Amino acid sequence: MNADEYKGWVGVFDSGVGGISVLRALVSELPNERFVYYGDSAHAPYGEKTPEEVLGLSRQIVEQLLAAGCKAIVIACNTATSAAATQLRAAYPEVPIIGVEPALKPAVLGTPDGTVLVMATPMTVRLEKFQHLMEEWGSGARVIAVPCEGLAARIERGKLCEPDLIDLIDSLVGGYAGTVDAVVLGCTHYPFVLEQIRHVLGDVPFYDGGAGTARQLRRRLAAGGLLTGRDVEGAVAFLSSKDTPEELALYQRFFQT
């Protein structure tokens, strides 16, 4: 990224392909904005690293996006939001930095007295942010949080129709089949395997944080007078720390699904 190459664009990042599920919601909410998406696929998965490592990686990416001129940052990753959002906001108080969190609130409100299964990375489930979310919303329903070790890394590899993926999902959450009333996809990689999860858990409502994050970005840009004045179609650019044509083609495929 060169200095000012993305001046006035919104910078979006994740450990890899997952944040593309959020990017789709952003483009749909704000079609005239320009988004530069950075996937840190060389360092995925974040959810099985330490919070300090994820903070360090997130900081480097945000520094680059801001040096390239981005006007706002979307952390399109539940794990990096938990590990780094507070510190990044403190470091760059003048920049809107929007995070994503498991959509526990709408799931609990939509499932009174039912059972809500939260699927997320081991780090998201462990960190304080999720514990706070549980304190605030966890009592309106029976909430079961499952750390889904290995799932984001498997999704990173693509080839989502192969049977080993269903086997992995089954080994992680298959034991809850028929007993849950709603599922929170608390990692931005998981919406890409929603059908496979549905196959294992049954046809229940699914919740993810993409649309809420997009609405929050709109509010923050509007409040800061930062919404684009352009009335032409926006743009999306993809960058990856695993900078190969195959990886960027994978990002495009995930964006178009």
Nearer to ligand DGL, 34 or 189 (CB): 189
Phi-psi region of 50 (alpha: psi -120 to 50; beta: other; left: phi over 0): beta
Nearer to ligand DGL, 14 or 71 (CB): 14
Whether 70 sits among the annotated catalytic residues: the reply is no
Pairing of strands 34-39, 235-240: parallel
Residue 148 catalytic? no
Using only the alpha carbons of the chain, give its radius of gyration.
Answer: 18
Interface with ligand DGL in residues 178-197 (CB under 6 A):
187-189
From CA 110, how far away is CA 183, in angstroms rounded? Answer: 11
- Tell which positions 37-76 bind ligand DGL, by CB under 6 A: 44-47
Cβ neighbours, 10 Å, residue 175: 11
Taking CB under 6 A as the rule, does residue 210 contact ligand DGL?
A: no
The Cα 210–Cα 23 span in angstroms is 8
Task: Kindly identify the residues of this chain, within the stretch 143-182, that bind ligand DGL according to CB under 6 A.
Answer: 152
For 15-86, list the strands marked E by DSSP.
34-39, 72-75
* Residue 12 touching ligand DGL (CB under 6 A): no
User: Given candidates 121, 196, 240, 241, which one binds ligand DGL under the rule CB under 6 A?
Assistant: 121
Interface positions with ligand DGL (CB under 6 A): 14-15, 18, 44-47, 77-79, 121, 124, 152, 187-189
Known catalytic residues are 77, 187
